[in-house]
Every structure is written in structure tokens, then in C-alpha cells.
Amino acid sequence: MVRAGRRRALFATAGPSSAAPACAGAQLHLAATPDAATAAAHHSHQAPDPLELLVEIRVQGNYATPDQDVIRIAGVTVGGPVPPDVVAEVEARLRASGRFDEVEVRKRYRSLTALDEVALIVIVRERPAATAEAPAPGPLKRTLAG
């Protein structure tokens, strides 16, 4: 009899309910756990992730275009912030320049412990230069040769 009275008291403190729950402990646990909206609001007030900084840029695959020119076209600088979509942005800039047949950019962290230090590896394949002796492939070839 005393035990049943204690259970009723636990249900009353957990909140109003029209049906008796199967386990008083579970009801108390649910009442003490914040709902998803409260948890999301709590997390949104936390400080943002630390700013990622670009500490190194490596250029590979270029033979006629100097590294500094590739980096200038890429539009990034060592010591600058790294936006979340930096890979797509740099690839788009390099492709839009018209100098490269293929472009690949890889974002790497400098170490497992320093996740705010980023290195970009820029891999390009340059378009062949058009000359009278070796015309560029495609429609330009007919124009130069003809």
C-alpha cells in the first residue's frame, strides 16, 4: 500500500497524464530530458567553431604558368580565412581562367591536433599552348593550319 502511494506521487511530479505509464522511472527521465527545440536553442548560443586559416598552398601539374600566377587566379592567400566552400570556389576560378584542362583542389588539415590550420593542394593540367608548329587541338587547329 505504501509502495503504490509512492508511485502515484512520482507520476504527479512528472506531469499531467491521462493514462498511467508503464514505468515511473521512464516518465521521470523523459520529463527531465529537454526536447529537441530546447536542445537546438541551447546549442545555437554556443561559440562558433574556431576560424580555419590557410597556412599553405601547394601547386602541382603546372609547367608554363608560375605557381604565383595559379595562386593569384585561385584568389586565396596564405594567412587568410578558409570559407566552407573554398574548394568549389577555387576550382571554379581556375576553370573560368581558361588556362587549364583539368583542375582539382584538395583541402587538408596540417595535423590531427591543429584543425584550424589548412593546406590547399591545387592540381592543374594546363592547356597546351598554340603555336604555328604545334597548333592547339580543336577548331583553332584548322584555322592555324589552313
pLDDT tens for the chain, 146 residues long, are 445 544 444 444 444 444 444 444 444 443 444 444 444 444 444 444 568 999 999 999 999 999 999 999 999 999 999 999 999 999 999 999 999 999 999 999 988 898 899 999 999 999 987 555 555 555 444 445 54
Write down all domains in the chain, each with its CATH number in brackets.
2-43 (no CATH), 53-126 (3.10.20.310)
- Distance CA(68)–CA(80), nearest Å, equals 16
Q: What is the pTM of this model?
A: 0.56
Answer yes or no: are the C-beta atoms of 131 and 64 closer than 8 Å.
no
Give 57: exposed, middle or buried? Use CB within 10 Å, 0-12, 13-18, 19+. Answer: buried
Residue 8 pLDDT: 43
Residue 67 pLDDT: 97
Residue 128 pLDDT: 85
